[in-house]
Amino acid sequence: MNRRENIKSILLGGVSASLLSNCIFPGNEKETQKKEPPSSHNISNWNLMPDMDWAGPKYWGNRLQDWNINDGLLQCMVEGRDRTLHHLTMQIGSSRNSFKSKVAIRFSEDLTKSNQNKIGYVVGSKSWNLEYRASAIHGNGLEVGINTLGNLFIGDEEFKQNSVDKGNLTSGVVLEVSAEPLGGAYTLLLSVFDKSGKILTQLEKKDVDPNELIGNIALLCNFSEFDSENTDHLVCSFDQWELSGDKFTKNEDQIFGPLCFTQYTRQKNLVKLTAQFCPIPLPSKAKFEVKQEGKWKMIQEAEVKYPSYTAQFRFDDWSYVESTSFRISYDFKYKDGSIETFYWDGTISKEPVSKKSVKAFVASCNHDLGFPDQDIVEYASVHEPDLVLFLGDQFYEINGHFGFQTAPLEKAYLDYLRKWYMFGWSYRKLFQHVPVINLPDDHDVFQGNLFGANGIEFPKASADKRYPRDYGGYMMPPDWVNLAMTTQTSHMPDPYDSTPIERGIHVFYSNWDYGGISFGIVEDRKFKSGPAAVLPHEAEVRDAYIENPDYPIKERSFPDAHLLGTRQIDFLKEWIENWKNETEFKILLSAAPFHALQTLPDEKSNGMQPRLEIPEKGEYILGDIPVADMDSGGWPKHERDEVLKLIKKSFTLHLAGDQHLPSVTQYGIDDYQDAGYTFAVPALANSWPRRWWPPINEPMLGQPGYTGNHEDAFGNKVYVRAVANPYKTGLEPARLYDRSPGYGIVTFNKISRDIEFECWPRYVNPKNNPQGQFLGWPITVNQLENNLPVKPYFLPTIKVTGIVNPLIKIIDDQNVTQLILRINGEVFQPVMDKEGVYSVLIVDEVGETQKQLDGIKAVAISNGSELKISI
């Protein structure tokens, strides 16, 4: 049957219906006085809402900055493609019932006339799954409504005989869509009424596939033809959106906002918590309440700040030792004076100091391919982590479609917030009851690669270049970068040195001591030098890669170039020596690992990563070479080596993300395996699959050819224990599952001082398949393996009495610390990587020496001698 034959045009005149009784367009006020209670979730109450850049908790706007409430009306503020406002609490279900949606709309006067510019609804909007959040972001459905020529449309078909005058459209009409089951299909009815309730036109479509009518329902402003110089203005106002019919399913728990989520850290008696809000009217305050003897008690109030829309709470003397329930409360004030109180609750957990093992969920790189990632949240919860670490790219600038908006600043703020909200919408349950660290990386500040160069603007030399970011600096303005810092890190321990970098950009590098683990949090992008500003032209730097195959990067050093920078190295020098009484592990956190574990077909292949053939499981790609990606932590090598030499003194292990290529490696500085281990966790989802298919070189016994000793393109020595290269899983969607997505679980065992790395594919439910980790995992490394000299020189075995787990420090004859460790028990044999005479010190948590023995010689062959120290 011809599709057009299914559509019956009905032109009706004089049929009135009291559809506009609640419409509140100006000039129609008399009909607007009926107030719906705020709890009603099937009719909008924008008429009662204050002006704000947010449509309210029942809705999700694509994009956030394109929808606001003004003078009691919902407004779409841009001529652009696919702008939608999804209803979050009402979805069109699969039952064979009917539904109806009606909304009062008023077109702006000066819209670009085109049959490609459409206002109306999307019905049955769904993503690859029917999850309401996935549908709100990735959904497609049947578009129905009126185009800016005044003609009705259903899908791609325009109906010129069903037309509405411009005068009606600009003074206001009601657009109604309803669907009734008929036989095995549905009949769709699209009707337009004028201000008095008279039907202007009506269109019927029969034989609609029931599957087309399952999913979200959204308001639509979809403009494909417009003046690109003049896009940002009022397009259409909406009011009194009313949904009815048994085909709708209703779930009021699916609201988003005004309280979005909370994030916190706890460090001894200091608790810092940031509550994230939607763009509510400001000034506003939020309250922090704890439950005491069954009652909620407010213990702190905080302003919600612009532009981050965060309320930041700080408790310098948190007195609750045990896990304590809290809630944030916020009073939303309606225009009629009524108040609706919203809550977000959670737990400030008891610090796991006395737990024998502490477990961390570790993740990075959250592309929205699998949004809202409820699979990961479900599977990660199985592990019951004590803490959560997001090590970068909490979102990508392209997440949520529409690219990203960089100006004007106010809209760029909202663009950031929408992507940040998506992250929280996915993962908020994971950190509702445990502390969380976020390490904002490059994509978190809308840059594909970030060489922060201490906060400079892109230099003039970069102006005409294709990749100005290669020259160092930030693309976005400092206030916007600070929005990213505030939303992601304001709940974290205070910065070690809060002095901003250039142009007032905030820093967050610091230590976080929790549950017996001291995390050193460093910012490996903010101070890093731009390679194009450092390397000579002949290196042919393009998009962070050295493309000249003849450029001898391994033989070149650039001593003025920075990886972490002097300030952070000074911090690390202090951090490695700073062990609290309960600290048993030192763990470094950064975005990227300190090597470039990447191969490509040749030096100029960068950019091809998403298009390279994904191999079958077990296949080995031959012909690849290691490539010089300076966006990795492998460059500049001299500072990479300096940092590794420093942190191995405290047996520090390194956790990182960024690469989208899960790996466990042992760093080498002068020799293979002469430094600590690193675990680079998988991407949660990625669009940029990296790979490691080096020429095979003595792999580990029984392990794949890519394991064993290798040099990266910068000459960094790497002992590869495991890598999860992309392979064809046979699962759909392949572009999500065939790129090694997943997460890490790291368990710190305080009895054995073992650190266990688990690496889970996102498609494996660990409950059903406990053996389902990526090939090569789990891997267990003992703390002491993070500093096992290749050419060892042995000090006598130290036996301490009178103190348990003493902090032992070994200094050389220049008074420089060479080893520092809170030992496990009372016996420890220090192994040095240099011959010489050393002093052995027992120190306390503030660094005071309790005992010192000088003149202790390190020898090449252990002679079994002992050093007894009693405290």
At closest approach, how far in Å is the CB of 519 from Fe ion?
Answer: 21
Using the minimum distance from each CB to Fe ion, give the nearer residue, 275 or 365. 365
Compare residues 57 and 392 and give the one whose CB is closer to Fe ion.
392
Cβ 671 to Fe ion, closest distance in Å?
A: 31
Residue 216 or residue 488: which is nearer to Fe ion going by CB? 488
d(CA 176, CA 840): 82
Using CA atoms, how far apart are residues 546 and 488, in angstroms rounded to an integer? 32
Token code pair at residue 432: 């509702």
What's the min distance (Å) between Cβ of 310 and Fe ion?
A: 24
Cis ω for the linkage preceding 258 (within 30 of 0):
yes
- 351 interacts with Fe ion by CB under 5 A: no
597 touches Fe ion by CB under 5 A: no
CA distances 264 to 347, 432, 440, Å, are 10, 9, 16
Of 273-281, 390-398, 477-485, 643-651: span binding Fe ion (CB under 5 A): 390-398
Residue closer to Fe ion, measured from CB, 280 or 365: 365
Q: Are 63 and 83 in contact (CB under 8 A)?
A: yes
Question: Rule CB under 5 A: is residue 629 a binding residue for Fe ion?
Answer: no
Whose tokens are 């703020």? That residue is 413
In the complex with Fe ion, the residue whose CB is nearer, 342 or 688, is 688
Q: Which stretch binds Fe ion (CB under 5 A): 16-24, 97-105, 309-317, 358-366?
A: 358-366
Q: Is 365 in the site for Fe ion (CB under 5 A)?
A: yes
Token couple for 323: 């896990």
Question: Angle at CA 459, nearest 5°, toward 454 and 463?
Answer: 145
Torsions phi, psi of 563, nearest 5? -105, -65
Q: Which is nearer to Fe ion, 687 or 850 (CB)?
A: 687
Q: Which is nearer to Fe ion, 446 or 514 (CB)?
A: 446
Contact of 250 with 102, CB cutoff 8 Å:
no
Q: Which stretch binds Fe ion (CB under 5 A): 74-82, 114-122, 361-369, 419-427?
A: 361-369
CB of 443 to Fe ion, least distance (A): 6
> Which region, judged by CB under 5 A, interacts with Fe ion, from 51-59, 130-138, 386-394, 781-789?
386-394
Q: From 141-149, 263-271, 362-370, 377-385, give the range in contact with Fe ion by CB under 5 A.
A: 362-370
Tokens of 46: 């924008």
Tokens linked to 757 = 């790395």
Neighbours of 33 (CB within 10 A): 10
Nearest to Fe ion of 365, 535 (CB atom): 365
| 135 versus 609: smaller Cβ distance to Fe ion | 609
Task: Determine the distance from the C-alpha atom of residue 194 to the mean position of all C-alpha atoms in its chain, rounded to a whole number.
Answer: 46
Give me the least distance between CB of 725 and Fe ion, in Å please: 17
**Closest distance to Fe ion from the beta carbon of 194 (Å):** 52
One-character DSSP codes across 358-413: EEEEEEEEE-GGGTT-HHHHHHHHHT--SEEEE-S-SS-TTTTSS----SSHHHHH
Nearest residue (CB) to Fe ion, 334 versus 688: 688
Task: Tell me the window of 189-197, 392-400, 563-571, 859-867 that interacts with Fe ion (CB under 5 A).
Answer: 392-400
Q: How far is the CB of 740 from Fe ion (least distance, A)?
A: 13
- Judge contact between 49 and 213, C-beta under 8 A: no
Nearer to Fe ion, 190 or 365 (CB): 365
Least distance between Fe ion and beta carbon 658 (Å)? 5
CA-CA distances (angstroms) from residue 837 to 304, 639, 850? Answer: 58, 27, 20
Task: Mark the segment that binds Fe ion (CB under 5 A) among 150-158, 389-397, 631-639, 788-796.
Answer: 389-397
Q: What is the CA radius of gyration of the chain?
A: 30
Closer to Fe ion by CB, 77 or 365: give it: 365
Please state the closest distance from residue 717 (CB atom) to Fe ion, in A.
25
Segment lying near Fe ion (by CB under 5 A), choices 13-21, 365-373, 530-538, 571-579: 365-373
Q: Which stretch binds Fe ion (CB under 5 A): 82-90, 166-174, 388-396, 726-734?
A: 388-396
428, 477 Cβ separation under 8 angstroms: no
Shortest Å, Cβ 32 to Fe ion: 49
Instruction: Show contacts of 177-180: CB within 8 Å, 24+ apart.
Output: 177/100, 177/101, 177/102, 177/120, 177/121, 177/123, 177/144, 178/98, 178/99, 178/100, 178/101, 178/245, 179/98, 179/99, 179/100, 179/123, 179/208, 179/213, 179/247, 180/98
The DSSP string of 675-705 is: S-EEEEPPEEE-SS-----PPP-SPPTTS-T
Q: How far apart are CA 103 and CA 404, in angstroms?
A: 30
Question: Applying CB under 5 A, which part among 385-393, 563-571, 640-648, 836-844 lies near Fe ion?
Answer: 385-393
Number of residues that bind Fe ion (CB under 5 A): 2
CB atoms under 10 Å from CB of 151, counted, come to: 17
Under the binding rule (CB under 5 A), the answer on residue 393 touching Fe ion is: yes
Report, in Å, the least distance between residue 402 CB and Fe ion: 20
Element (H, E) at 761: strand 754-761
Shortest distance, position 441 Cβ to Fe ion, whole Å: 7
Q: Which is nearer to Fe ion, 47 or 394 (CB)?
A: 394
- Shortest gap between Cβ of 675 and Fe ion (angstroms)? 24
Q: Of 281 and 448, which has the nearer Cβ to Fe ion?
A: 448
Q: What distances in angstroms separate CA 16 from CA 23, 31, 198, 380, 864, one per listed residue?
A: 15, 16, 4, 56, 102
The least CB distance from residue 393 to Fe ion, in Å, is: 4
Q: Which amino acid is at 186?
A: Y
Q: Which residues would be at the binding site for Fe ion (CB under 5 A)?
A: 365, 393
